[in-house]
């Protein structure tokens, strides 16, 4: 009985007394919130709670955006099936316009690269460009080609469809001939069907998970640790701007990133050409709207990254300006440069590349604000590693 497990307990009686005092005062401090008095927290302080933000973004932005995209996607898949059964000029035209609408709607969900989308790595299967022509042609001859491996990314999704409906011939007649070919036509149409079916499967998985379990998981993981919703969301969000909007749409085709050598063939929707600017504009606007928490249905702004930064009083200490205003101003500066471009970014890279590089440079400034200033103000570590600090 003399043996007590831990030496601290030598002082046990004294210690107990002190602990009691501390615990009581802590409890008193905690208990004083919400009991009796009604004039406690001000609305500004509430803005620091992440649950309302996550809830608003899930319910008013992410889930409705996916629903909108699904409608456009289904329409495209339907037109694709019609075209597969009857590869005529009229059906090609309707397939193309449905493809454009779906591709535009995709730009409004591609940025949600966290949660189910990250789990399915849907982006890799939907929008890696430039498309691999040789890979696509090889897959047409081999209906069992593996479409799950990284090497297959550029052989599927919207860029592959772009090639298949806009790039396999110089004229519509040549394109139609590609599919009406007596020996190969059926296989080629089957590949289109395989691609749209696969896209549908992946998209359905992502949407189903958001609509069932993930929405609640998303809004309940309110911490800022490595697996929290906010951390995953912000990491995906920042990465998306840097890698897929700044680099993918402008930096790489313009050559601003490598050797200064322009690569016009690396623009998005290279075969369709005249929608590349529309896609970029849509993606950029969706990005800005997400930052500001703009509800998809009503267009009204709600709790968002912007309101969170404001609640944290993230400011430039020199000018007293809100960081969120500075970021929005930089988005606007990028937008002005984007709006100055002509519809085909392919042509812009070839003839007006300095305007492309100007967009890249503005976006570079926004990238720094997002990646360094915003994450630092939010105490979120970008490029997460699990380690101790001091």
4 binds other proteins (CB under 8 A): yes
Which of the 8 DSSP states describes residue 264? G
Element at 328 (helix H, strand E) = helix 323-339
Between CA 323 and CA 316 the distance in angstroms is 6
259 binds other proteins (CB under 8 A): yes
Residues 31-70 as x/- pattern, contact with other proteins by CB under 8 A: --x-------x---xx-xxxx-------------------
Least distance (Å) between residue 308 CB and other proteins: 9
142 binds other proteins (CB under 8 A): no
Q: Which of 67, 137, 177, 224 binds other proteins (CB under 8 A)?
A: 224
- The region of 2-10, 80-88, 288-296, 339-347 touching other proteins under the rule CB under 8 A is 2-10
Q: CB–CB of 237/290 below 8 Å?
A: yes
Q: CB–CB of 353/255 below 8 Å?
A: yes
208 binds other proteins (CB under 8 A): no
DSSP labels, 32-49: TSSSS------HHHHTT-
Q: How far is CA 112 from CA 115, 116, 278, in A?
A: 8, 9, 19
377 binds other proteins (CB under 8 A): yes
Closest to 111 measured CA to CA, from 273, 264, 291: 291
Residues 99-138 as x/- pattern, contact with other proteins by CB under 8 A: ----------------------------------------
195 binds other proteins (CB under 8 A): no
Identify the three-state secondary structure at position 161: helix
383 binds other proteins (CB under 8 A): yes
336 binds other proteins (CB under 8 A): no
Q: Which long-range contacts (CB under 8 A, 24 or more apart) does 339-342 make?
A: 339/281, 341/277, 342/277
The two tokens of residue 296 are 């998809």
Residues 285-314 as x/- pattern, contact with other proteins by CB under 8 A: ---------------------------xxx
Q: Please report, as ranges, the residues that interact with other proteins according to CB under 8 A.
A: 2-5, 7, 10-11, 14-15, 18-19, 22, 26, 29-30, 33, 41, 45-46, 48-51, 222-224, 257-260, 312-318, 323, 326, 367-369, 371-373, 375-390
């Amino acid at each position: 009985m003399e043996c007590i497990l831990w030496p601290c307990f030598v002082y046990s009686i004294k210690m107990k007394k002190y602990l009691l005092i501390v615990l009581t005062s802590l409890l008193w401090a905690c208990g004083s919130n919400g009991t009796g008095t009604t004039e406690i927290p001000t609305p500004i302080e509430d803005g620091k709670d992440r649950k309302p933000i996550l809830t608003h973004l899930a319910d008013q932005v992410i889930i409705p955006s996916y629903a909108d995209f699904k409608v456009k996607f289904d329409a495209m898949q339907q037109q694709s099936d019609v075209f597969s059964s009857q590869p005529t000029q009229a059906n090609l035209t309707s397939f193309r316009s449905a493809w454009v609408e779906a591709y535009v709607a995709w730009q409004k969900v591609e940025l949600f690269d966290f949660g189910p989308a990250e789990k399915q790595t849907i982006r890799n299967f939907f929008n890696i460009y430039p498309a691999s022509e040789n890979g696509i042609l090889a897959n047409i001859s081999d209906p069992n080609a593996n479409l799950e491996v990284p090497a297959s990314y550029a052989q599927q999704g919207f860029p592959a469809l772009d090639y298949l409906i806009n790039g396999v011939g110089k004229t519509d007649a040549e394109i139609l001939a590609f599919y009406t070919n007596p020996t190969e036509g059926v296989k080629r149409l089957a590949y289109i069907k395989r691609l749209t079916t696969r896209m549908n499967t992946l998209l359905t998985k992502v949407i189903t998970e958001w609509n069932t379990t993930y929405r609640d998981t998303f809004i309940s993981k309110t911490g800022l640790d490595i697996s929290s919703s906010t951390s995953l969301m912000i990491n995906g969000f920042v990465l998306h701007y840097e890698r897929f909007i700044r680099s993918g749409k402008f930096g790489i085709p313009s050559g601003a990133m490598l050797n200064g050598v322009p690569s016009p063939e690396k623009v998005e929707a290279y075969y369709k050409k005249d929608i590349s600017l529309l896609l970029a504009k849509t993606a950029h606007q969706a990005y800005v709207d997400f930052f500001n928490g703009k509800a998809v249905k009503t267009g009204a702004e709600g709790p968002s990254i912007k309101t969170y930064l404001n609640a944290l009083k993230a400011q430039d200490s020199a000018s007293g300006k809100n960081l969120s205003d500075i970021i929005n101003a930089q988005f606007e500066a990028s937008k002005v440069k984007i709006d100055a471009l002509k519809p085909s970014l392919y042509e812009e890279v070839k003839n007006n590349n300095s305007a492309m590089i100007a967009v890249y440079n503005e976006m570079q400034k926004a990238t720094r604000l997002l990646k360094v200033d915003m994450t630092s103000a939010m105490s979120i570590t970008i490029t997460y590693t699990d380690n101790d600090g001091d």
